């Protein structure tokens, strides 16, 4: 997921998924994942500012037929009341299994 997100947003060179805030599943033969990101050692001031703006949003990914991942969406701000259930790119049944991507 990290590489897929960095392909879409190369300004984030020093990020990793936040532990405990990663979701993965398959629906109708298609793989999906969701993650939030945090900084890693070597993060620049500019990256920290960008993460402050975008870091709180969950990012959503779809597995490609070639086996790689592609970034498809982020949560809105503020996050919708149904969490990932409000993200059109994530199948409703999968969002339900994920508990609407809530981490408590």
At 10-35, the pLDDT tens digits run 888 899 999 988 899 999 889 999 99
| 104 — pLDDT class (breaks 50, 70, 90) | low
Tokens 């959503």 identify what position? Answer: 60
Q: Cα separation of 63 and 69, whole Å? A: 4
72-95 mean pLDDT = 84
pLDDT band at 80 (very low <50, low <70, confident <90, very high): confident
Q: How far apart are CA 97 and CA 46, in angstroms?
A: 36
User: Do 8 and 15 touch, CB atoms closer than 8 A?
Assistant: no
In angstroms, the CA 74 to CA 77 distance is 9
The answer on pLDDT for 55 being more than 70 is no
What is the pTM assigned to this prediction? 0.85
Q: Give the separation between CA 13 and CA 39, rounded to whole angstroms.
A: 9
């Amino acid at each position: 997921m990290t590489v897929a997100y960095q392909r879409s947003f190369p300004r984030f060179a020093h990020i990793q998924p936040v532990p405990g805030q990663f979701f993965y599943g398959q629906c109708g033969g298609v793989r999906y994942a969701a993650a939030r990101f945090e900084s890693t050692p070597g993060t620049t001031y500019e990256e920290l500012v960008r993460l402050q703006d975008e870091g709180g949003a969950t990012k959503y990914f779809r597995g490609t037929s070639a086996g790689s991942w592609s970034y498809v969406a982020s949560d809105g701000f503020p996050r919708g009341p149904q969490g990932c259930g409000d993200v059109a790119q994530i199948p409703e049944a999968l969002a339900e299994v994920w508990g609407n991507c809530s981490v408590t």
